[in-house]
Amino acid sequence: MNKLFVIFLCCLIWVSEAVQAERIKDLAAVAGVRSNQLVGYGLVVGLPKLGDKTKFTGQSLVNMLTQLGMNWPQGVNPKAKNIAAVAVSAELPPFAKPGQTIDVTVSSIGDAKSLRGGTLLMSPLKGADGKVYAVAQGNLVVGGLSASGRDGSKITVNNPTVGRIPNGATVERSVPTPFTQGNALIFNLHNADFTTANRMVEAINRMLGPDTARALDGTSVKVSAPADPSQRVIFASMIENITVLPDDAPARVIVNSRSGTVVINSKVRVQPAAVSHGSLTVTISETPQVSQPAPLSRGQTVVTSQSEISVEEEGANHMFVFNPGVSLDEIVKAVNDVGAAPSDLVAILEALKSAGALRAELIVI
């Protein structure tokens, strides 16, 4: 009976680890295989009198018409109300080949009121090296809406000056990657961790043989790979689908000072400490009073203010004790029992950190 119980317990542990295990594809990425940002400048036309009023928009229109063979008088502003100057941005995915299409985002850089219904004219998209990698053109899809009345009233829904063009850019140049170069592949963890890197090496060597993989540091794992490109793709696919049990993140408390959001992970522990928390309300009121001069004194009537200051403490001070090594559940329960607001919780955590009782990294964003 005891043997059956031990076997059952081992099966439960194995199933639990298998459920928590993640693929290497979700934990790491191949070094050098990444997307590249593209940016360009263009004109959106066809706007119903909602375009720019800036001078550089008219200058851009004149330059475009000149390149198309039209002679425009120098120093004459076309003052077109149906065009808008825009910045065009896109992300070139890895292994993108000429002829493929990518999505682009179009954003107004002038004082255009809306881009709804506009069409982006041919705009080259350049990379960080100044070379053209794609060309964008097409009709915009704008989710925002803006409307105004003659009396000056105005309503805006979402953002009407930003739009997208699905498959609006055609790739003209591919970016070389180091995927097919060398005799090894390097996998970089999304979150650096020595334990996870070591477990990743053990999992790869257990499946593909000893000394196939070795850790370079807490982020990078180097894996020997075949030289043939087609075999390397199959090899990378095998590695991506190997499951690894990642280590837990370090104890951290994340505090958003703007919204009051507090996130505490499961590894946070608190040393023995007593916390007393209360709040004071200070009220200052001004009461205007009229001061009349004495009869025949030739004085003037003036208005003076009398200040009244009162200090109130909202309820009694709450005190609670943290026992050694309390967990996340106990911390949250103790704070909720005294009715502390998120801002009060932030103050308590900062005080515990200053006192050396909070065994966690406190990050305020």
Give the model's pLDDT for residue 58: 73
Rounded CA separation 106/42 (Å): 9
Q: Give helix then strand counts, H and E, for the chain.
A: 7, 23
Q: What is the pLDDT along the chain (365 residues), one digit of tens a residue?
A: 445 444 444 444 444 444 478 898 888 999 888 899 999 999 898 888 777 877 777 777 777 777 777 777 676 666 777 888 899 999 999 999 999 999 999 998 888 888 888 899 999 999 999 999 999 999 988 876 555 555 555 565 567 888 899 999 999 999 888 888 888 899 999 988 899 999 999 999 998 889 889 999 989 999 998 888 888 899 999 998 989 988 877 777 777 767 767 777 777 777 776 666 665 444 445 566 666 666 666 667 666 655 555 545 555 455 555 556 566 566 666 666 666 666 667 777 777 777 777 777 777 77
Total Cβ atoms within 10 A of residue 254: 14
Rounded CA separation 262/122 (Å): 47
Model-level pTM?
Answer: 0.67
Give the model's pLDDT for residue 346: 72
Give the model's pLDDT for residue 322: 57
Give the model's pLDDT for residue 282: 43
Residues 6+ apart with CB under 8 A from 301: 290, 291, 292, 293
Rounded CA separation 210/11 (Å): 27
Residues 6+ apart with CB under 8 A from 227: 183
Could you tell me the CA-to-CA distances from 154 to 84, 145, 147, 351 in Å, in that order? 21, 11, 6, 48
Could you tell me the CA-to-CA distances from 182 to 209, 279, 316 in Å, in that order? 20, 64, 70
Rounded CA separation 91/36 (Å): 6
Residues 6+ apart with CB under 8 A from 310: 282, 283, 285
